[in-house]
Chain A
Amino acid sequence: MEISFDKVGFWYQPGTPFAFQALKDVSLTIPSGQFTAVIGHTGSGKSTLIQHLNALLKPTTGRVLIGDRTIDAKTSNKHLKPLRKTVGIVFQFPENQLFEETVLKDIAFGPQNFGVTSQAATEMAQQAAKQVGLADELLTRSPFELSGGQMRRVAIAGVLALRPDVLVLDEPTAGLDPRGRRDVMTLVTKLQREQQMTIVLITHQMDDVARYAQNVVVMAKGAVVKQGTPQTVFSDANWLADHQLALPSAAEFAAQLSQHGFHFDPLPLTEEALVAQLAPQLPLKGGQHNE
């Protein structure tokens, strides 16, 4: 399902002395069935942006088109519920998303809330728990008696169990161990490729952006300052430096090697791409020569 922003402005606490404009004239399209990454500094408006994807926040000015629905400042809060199933959001602080008595009930809450029978919801929850690597013995625990990384897995599973059309993840891998991080990224890519799920990922991990995303949205001070494929966004080294944005590790390293006689074209964004261009420029084992 396609979602687009049309000149969206958003103010927190409008009309008070604390009014703060967190989004400025944002126009963009999240293409259906694709993997979009949203990047930008602390406080640039990423979390504010994605809460517009299912009308948790409504634009103060402009409008958001979610499939065939239009959301603007005047949209009533009634009839928004179906959107919460179509667009599932995993929030930045997962603890704030948990509330049930047991982990399993917490994960099953979503589907049940949308009319799935209790038995089917439990099955969906068990499957989702497995997908995020939650051990069976944790399912009967209270979600508040878990480690930080385990809580995050529960929050992700709760949204996966909804089987949304659009899956939005706000820094889902912060606090996950590297195996968990890789599992979540692999799972999300698989959902996108095999089930054409639309994925929106907020992340500070440029390596993940380079490896998994098809589109990148760059935010700065509430505005969208660049959009494009990872290759276009990361190829403009001067622009990135001006905006104090990091390159993926492979691109950074390639740039460093380029100053010492190595040559790369196009700029490699992943380790594999880097090595594919680097190996032919090096001597092989046992004095063999390349080429």
Chain B
Amino acid sequence: MAIISVSNLTYQYAQSEAPAVNDVTFDVEAGDWVAIVGHNGSGKSTLAKLLIGILAADSGTIDIAGTRLTEASVWDVRETIGMVFQNPDNQFVGATVADDVAFGMENRHVSRDVMIRRVKEALLQVGMWEFRDREPARLSGGQKQRVALAGVMAVAPKILILDEATSMLDPEGRSDILNTIKTLKQKLNLTVLSITHDIDEAAQADRILVIDDGRFIEEATPQALFEHGSDLIAMGLDVPFSAKLTELLAQRGVAVPAHYLDEGSLADWLWKSRLTK
């Protein structure tokens, strides 16, 4: 059964002329990693806020783990979801980093011993344990993002929604964090919804949903979506490095394969073709 089931969802901000989310329908199976991509202002964050009930839809329905999202059920539903917001400053509530990470567990009937252990585990996982007594506001941008991630990892919710949660991490930091989330996902059968402009993060997903002006315009595996080459830019994603390279090689008269190759396959192809020269 789908853990997230959204049907004909529409939402329009009071002052605006067009819906920010427009008749959106999709399902996510438990344990899936789904990336949501789209250009700036296409409705990604609005959709995320609808899913956790910060905004209430004008029409359409949302079912989370079998429960219909309503005003009455919103608090129960939120217990199954952990969300990292686009700006971590909007998320901090604790006076110290450790308090902040613990906060999410306080309403979830977690015993104190377990709580202390999980705070430590989560902070170690994101490399922020040594900062546990610091004020969250007095951290660097990337450190804030790490603490925000630790906060949801400690809760180990069924569903994790990441709204550009790694946008300020350095490349190694980002891939470490993505690997950590991947491991958690496998261990706990987490469902991950990641909103991102980063091609490497999108490539981790099982499926990518493309949103454009509030509507879903495409759904595909990363491999299939990356076939779009330079059209990806209009979808709010960059062109994969291997696709850029293939195109430039073609312009120089090299007989490149017609299909999208990821970096590993392109390297293999290049070694083989060099031998035929």
9 contacting pairs across A/B (C-beta < 8 A): A92-B168, A145-B13, A149-B40, A174-B168, A245-B172, A246-B171, A257-B267, A271-B244, A285-B255
Chain B residues positioned under 8 Å from A275 (CB to CB): 245, 248-249, 252
Within 8 A of B (CB), among A45-85: 46-47
Chain B residues positioned under 8 Å from A92 (CB to CB): 141, 168
Please determine whether A282 and B277 come into contact, CB atoms closer than 8 angstroms. Answer: yes
Please determine whether B255 and A286 come into contact, CB atoms closer than 8 angstroms. Answer: yes
Within 8 A of B (CB), among A122-160: 137, 141, 145-150, 153
Please determine whether B273 and A283 come into contact, CB atoms closer than 8 angstroms. Answer: yes
Contact with B along A209-236 (1 / 0, CB 8 A): 0000000000000000000000000000
CA gap between A252 and B276 in the complex, in Å: 24
A33: Cβ under 8 A from any B Cβ: no
Within the complex, what minimum Cβ distance (angstroms) separates A103 from chain B? 13
Chain A residues with a Cβ closer than 8 Å to the other chain, count:
60
CA gap between A50 and B236 in the complex, in Å: 30
Please determine whether A148 and B248 come into contact, CB atoms closer than 8 angstroms. Answer: no
CA gap between A197 and B173 in the complex, in Å: 32
A195: Cβ under 8 A from any B Cβ: no
Within the complex, what minimum Cβ distance (angstroms) separates B1 from chain A? 32
Please determine whether B241 and A253 come into contact, CB atoms closer than 8 angstroms. Answer: yes
**Closest Cβ neighbor of A290 among chain B residues:** B277
Please determine whether A93 and B248 come into contact, CB atoms closer than 8 angstroms. Answer: no
Contact with A along B234-277 (1 / 0, CB 8 A): 10111101001100110011110000000100010011011011
Top-8 shortest CB links A-B: A149-B40, A42-B142, A285-B255, A178-B238, A279-B252, A246-B171, A275-B248, A174-B167
Chain A residues positioned under 8 Å from B134 (CB to CB): 18
Residues A180 and B143 in contact in the complex (CB < 8 Å), given A257-B267, A271-B244: no
Residues A180 and B40 in contact in the complex (CB < 8 Å), given A42-B142, A148-B86, A246-B171: yes
B218: Cβ under 8 A from any A Cβ: no
Please determine whether B143 and A282 come into contact, CB atoms closer than 8 angstroms. Answer: no
CA gap between A92 and B41 in the complex, in Å: 19
Residues of chain A whose beta carbon lies under 8 Å from any beta carbon of chain B:
12-13, 18, 40-43, 46-47, 92-93, 95-96, 137, 141, 145-150, 153, 170-171, 174-181, 204, 206, 244-246, 249-250, 253, 256-257, 260-262, 271-272, 274-275, 278-279, 281-286, 288-290
Please determine whether A43 and B143 come into contact, CB atoms closer than 8 angstroms. Answer: yes
Within 8 A of A (CB), among B173-197: 173, 197
Please determine whether B164 and A175 come into contact, CB atoms closer than 8 angstroms. Answer: yes
**Closest Cβ neighbor of A284 among chain B residues:** B253
Chain B residues positioned under 8 Å from A286 (CB to CB): 255
Residues A177 and B40 in contact in the complex (CB < 8 Å), given A148-B164, A275-B245, A282-B270: yes
B233: Cβ under 8 A from any A Cβ: yes
Within the complex, what minimum Cβ distance (angstroms) separates A278 from chain B? 7
Specify which of B40, B146, B168, B255 is in contact with A176 (CB 8 Å cutoff).
B40
CA gap between A45 and B139 in the complex, in Å: 11
Please determine whether A206 and B171 come into contact, CB atoms closer than 8 angstroms. Answer: yes
Within the complex, what minimum Cβ distance (angstroms) separates B98 from chain A? 15
Chain B residues positioned under 8 Å from A281 (CB to CB): 274, 277
Specify which of B168, B233, B270 is in contact with A257 (CB 8 Å cutoff).
B270
